[in-house]
Amino acid sequence: MNAEIGFSEFGLLFLLALLLFKPKDLGKAVATFKYWKGRLYRLKFDMEDELLETQKNPSRKEKESAWIVQAIRRFEPYKAAAKVAAFYPLPDEPDIRPIVQELAKEGRLLLPITYDGGLMDFVEIHDLEKDLVEGRFHVHEPKKELPIYRGEIPFVLTPGVQFSWDGGRHGHGKGYYDRFLEKNPQAIKCGVAFSTQVSEKPLTLKPHDVPMNYIVAPKNDPEKENPHVEEATV
Q: List, for residues 108-152, the tens digit of each pLDDT value.
A: 999 999 998 889 999 999 999 999 998 766 789 999 999 999 999
233: confidence class by pLDDT, cuts 50, 70, 90: confident
Dist CA 166 CA 209 (whole Å): 13
85 pLDDT more than 90: yes
Cα 119 to the center of its chain, rounded Å: 16
Dist CA 212 CA 201 (whole Å): 15
206: confidence class by pLDDT, cuts 50, 70, 90: very high
Provide the 3-class DSSP secondary structure of residue 68. Answer: helix
Question: Cβ(193)–Cβ(171) under 8 Å?
Answer: no
Angle at 86 between CA 219 and CA 216, to 5 degrees: 10
Phi and psi, residue 206, nearest 5°: -90, 165
Burial (CB count <10 Å: 0-12, 13-18, 19+), residue 43: exposed
Higher pLDDT, 27 or 114: 114
Average of per-residue pLDDT values in the chain? 86
Question: Cβ(186)–Cβ(163) under 8 Å?
Answer: no
183 pLDDT more than 90: yes
Dist CA 23 CA 68 (whole Å): 58
> What's the mean pLDDT in 39-65?
63
